[in-house]
Structure 1
Amino acid sequence: MTSGVAGRYASALFDLAKEEKAVPAVASALAGLAKSISESADLKRLFSSPVFKSEDQMAAIEALSAKGGMSGLALNFVKLLCENRRLTALPGAIDAFQALVAEDKGEVVADVTSAEKLTAAQLKDLAAALKARVGKDVQLVAKTDASLLGGLTVKIGSTLIDNSLKTKLQNLKVAMKGNG
């Protein structure tokens, strides 16, 4: 999980946050930032496109920090990524940081993608089922992707459980072509 640019940045941030006993605050701030980015197409574009000037990206970061209360290590981390022209690595770095936090707590992170937003009860049931399967507490990172049509995919580490309608239909199509 700590390989690549995003992983190296996340690992350094985690070590620093742990040293300063600020892991929960940094994790919370980064989770809030990730939510803001996922809910705004403009922010996604601003942070993922190298076309924008560093100054424009930094101004957006300052505005987000003023609005959302992001400060301290989390803010400095995002600013550092901006200064180094590495904002495209931000989502991966946030995911890697959250995974390091979960690992430190003895948990595993499961990326869950569903066709529709899952309810709190569904997420609770899924977390319980995954805990029974992996033997550890599971922290869910839920996303939606309408292209799945139905069902969901779950990724824990390098294991992918694909129970989506899209994949089932593709498999059926391949099977039907093979018998024709």
Structure 2
Amino acid sequence: MYIGVVSMRYAKALLAYADDAKVEDAVYREALLLKDSYAQVPELRQAMDNPVLAPDVKLRLVVEAAGGKVTKELERFVQLVLKEKREKFLQFMINSYIDLYRKQKNISIGKLTTAYPVAPEVVERIRKIVVSRTKGTAEFATKVDASLEGGFIFEIGTYRLDASVASQIRRVKQQFIEKNRRIV
């Protein structure tokens, strides 16, 4: 069976279960912690894929990776995943849950990359603009990348606004190269 189908089915079930129990926000926060743990600790995935480890050990690993104390809904979900021997798909299930939750709650994810650190007021002003346009909420990540030389790159969803000095210099350079090719 296709990984995406399995993970989406389980993620939908978790979202429905968390919605019924009115703890979808808490499960979302735990899922974000678990997602970060998977990204930062590659050994977690190896441990979950290890057939020698007992399910209760794997459950403790997941609980610890999700912050140490989790809702009973997430714990029961992980127990179900372990019982059905689908733990190798758990990372994909968690990512699918996060995507479904964000879609349900109309949460936009943005990334602002700048050449120099930006004041929190600027980030908040951008967040307010996005919120007013999307009629939802926005989560932002900020990053400083000195190679931009100035300006910024703003990404949200599938849109990307590149107003960096480095990309403008590349465009001008490319225009000169094209113009010189026509002359020669």
Give TM-score scaled by structure 2 length.
Answer: 0.64
Contact map agreement 2:111 2:140 (CA 8 A) in 1: yes
Amino acid at match of 2:60: E
Is 1:100 matched up with 2:103? yes
Task: Report the counterpart of residue 131 of structure 1 in structure 2.
Answer: 131
Instruction: Find the counterpart in structure 1 of residue 121 from structure 2.
Output: 121
Gaps of 5+ in 2: none
Matches within 5 A, 1:1-180: 4-5=4-5, 6-38=7-39, 40=40, 43=41, 45-47=42-44, 52-54=49-51, 59=57, 62-63=60-61, 65-66=63-64, 68-78=68-78, 80=81, 83-84=85-86, 85-90=88-93, 92-103=95-106, 108-114=107-113, 120-134=120-134, 136-142=135-141, 144=143, 146=145, 149=148, 151-156=152-157, 159-163=158-162, 165=164, 167-168=167-168, 170-180=170-180
Identity %: 15
SS in 2 for 1:68: coil
For the 8 Å contact 1:114–1:152, the answer to whether it is kept is yes
**1:120–1:9: structure 2 CA closer, same or farther, 3 Å change rule?**
farther
- Which of the two has higher C-alpha Rg? 2
For residue 50 of structure 2, what is the amino acid of its counterpart? K
CA displacement at 1:125 relative to structure 2: 1.5
- Cα deviation for residue 9 of structure 1 reads 3.4
Amino acid at match of 1:163: D
Structure 1: 5+ residue runs without aligned partners? none
Change (3 A) 1:31 1:17: same
CA displacement at 1:30 relative to structure 2: 1.6
Task: Tell me how far 1:72 sits from its aligned partner.
Answer: 1.9
Indicate how the Cα distance of structure 1 residues 51 and 13 shifts in structure 2: closer, same or farther if over 3 A, else same: closer
Count of aligned pairs between the two proteins: 166
Instruction: Give the counterpart letter for 2:108 in structure 1.
Output: V
Residue 26 of structure 1 deviates from its aligned partner by 0.9
Q: Distance in 1 between matches of 2:156 and 2:172?
A: 23
